[in-house]
């Protein structure tokens, strides 16, 4: 079960997400469903189509239950299968 405390150790594909902050000011506020994730990027299906975001340059918010959880993109950098396995400090 995904909780705000263990969110970064779970699969993100399929979760509702939005860009809370970014070096690209045009990306802030874009929201949709995560459809793909690579080592350095996250692809979100928005109302304007699929948009690819560089993790290091963004802060994302994910909908977990009824609560939005904000996560720095730098915490998410890495292959998804490796991120799920590694131990993370409290973020």
pLDDT tens column, 33-80: 999 999 999 999 999 999 999 999 999 999 999 999 999 999 999 888
Q: What is the pTM of this model?
A: 0.89
List the CATH code of the domain at 10-75. Answer: 2.30.30.210
pLDDT of 87 > 70? The answer is no
Extents of the domains making up the chain: 10-75
Q: Token pair for residue 33?
A: 């469903």
Q: Looking at residue 24, what is its pLDDT?
A: 95
Taking only Cα atoms into account, the Rg of the chain, rounded to an integer number of angstroms, comes to 12
């Amino acid at each position: 079960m995904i909780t705000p405390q263990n969110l970064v150790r779970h699969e993100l594909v399929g979760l509702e997400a939005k860009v809370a902050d970014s070096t690209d000011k045009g990306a802030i506020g874009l929201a949709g469903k995560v459809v793909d994730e690579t080592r350095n990027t996250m692809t979100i299906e928005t109302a304007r189509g699929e948009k690819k975001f560089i993790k290091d340059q963004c802060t994302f918010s994910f909908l977990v239950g009824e609560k939005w959880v904000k996560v720095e993109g730098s915490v998410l950098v890495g292959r998804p299968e490796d991120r799920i396995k590694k131990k993370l400090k409290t973020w």
